[in-house]
Amino acid sequence: MVGFFYLITMRFKFYIVICVILFSACVSLKEKPLPVEKTAFYTFSIRRDTIKNQTQFKVLDVQIADTKINYHINKAIEKEPYYLKLEIVDDSKHQISALVTHPLYKRFDLYSESREIESKSVKLQQAEFVVRVPFFSSYKTITFTETINFVSQKPITLKYEK
């Protein structure tokens, strides 16, 4: 008779342990909320030092809008001789890429008096430009890669200064 009660109590304990395991597995873990996507307008300054043969970048301003954009990268820019590739890494580990025509190299068409179209290239020493990209949180790093005459230059990385 004692063995019978022992068997029942052991079975009861076994069922309680199984129920605790099942119920604890069903409890949902609190997940971190996903960052809300917004739109960022980054204003950059670019300056070319011809003596050192270096390009310097500076973040002038970051404006955030409470809208979501339909963002895509214009891959046709990669076929141009002068462009910049930006890679923005933010605090939430998102990596956003952007391609823009190089702001220091301008090309324009002139109409001569003889009614011919003449294409000219102008190389600037400094310029400002704006890039519109998705925004999730403040940037950690921004990496600029210049392509000049179809040759990619050494990447330049800016880190966020708080």
Sequence letter at residue 112: S
Residues 6 or more apart whose Cβ sits within 8 Å of residue 140 = 89, 90, 91, 159, 160
Residues in the chain: 162
d(CA 161, CA 140): 9
So what's the pLDDT on residue 61?
Answer: 94
Block residue for tokens 């109409």: 111
Confidence band for 108, pLDDT divided at 50, 70 and 90: confident
pTM: 0.73
Q: Which token pair is 122?
A: 């102008």
Instruction: Encode pLDDT of 114-148 as tens digits.
Output: 888 888 888 999 999 999 999 998 899 999 999 99
User: In 24-124, at which residue ranges do the beta strands (DSSP E only) sit?
Assistant: 38-49, 54-65, 83-90, 95-101, 105-111, 117-123
Question: How large is the greatest C-alpha to C-alpha distance in the chain, in angstroms?
Answer: 119
C-alpha triplet 159, 160, 162: angle, nearest 5°: 140
What are 29-77's pLDDT values in tens digits? 556 666 688 999 999 999 999 888 899 999 999 999 999 888 888 899 9
- Other Cβ atoms within 10 Å of 82 Cβ, number: 19
Give the Cβ contact number of residue 134 at 10 Å. 17
